[in-house]
Amino acid sequence: LRKRLVLEEWIVEQLGQLYGCEEEEMPEVEIDIDDLLDAANEEERALKLQETLVDCYKPTEEFIKELLTRIRGMRKLSPPQKKSI
């Protein structure tokens, strides 16, 4: 969970640099880590990221490559289990 939080903070920081603005001013960009982990392979993940970042005017290749490297080996978060009494 901690690794995931660190990754999410890194993503926000990188998006701020890519879009050249603070988090509050950033366009509505949603990068869903679980959605990326659902993708069949690296190429599909990269394509999803390219589609998400389509309106970014700065080059996104390095960000995409680094993000794919960072999520390698991660697992999806399972929804919280309901406890029965």
Please report whether residue 29 resides in a domain.
Answer: yes
Annotate 21-38 with DSSP letters as a single string. S-GGGS------HHHHHH
Please report whether residue 76 resides in a domain.
Answer: no
Please report whether residue 39 resides in a domain.
Answer: yes
27 vs 84: CA distance, rounded Å: 41
Please report whether residue 66 resides in a domain.
Answer: yes
Please report whether residue 81 resides in a domain.
Answer: no
| Domain with 52 in it | 1-71
Q: How far is CA 80 from CA 6, 23, 37, 72, in A?
A: 20, 28, 18, 23
Question: The domain that contains 43 carries what CATH number?
Answer: 1.10.150
Task: Tell me the pLDDT tens digit for each residue of 59-71.
Answer: 999 999 999 999 9
pTM: 0.81
Of 20-29, 31-40, 63-72, least confident by mean pLDDT is: 20-29
User: How confident is residue 38, by pLDDT bands cut at 50, 70 and 90?
Assistant: very high
Task: Tell me the pLDDT tens digit for each residue of 39-83.
Answer: 999 999 999 999 999 988 899 999 999 999 999 888 877 665 555
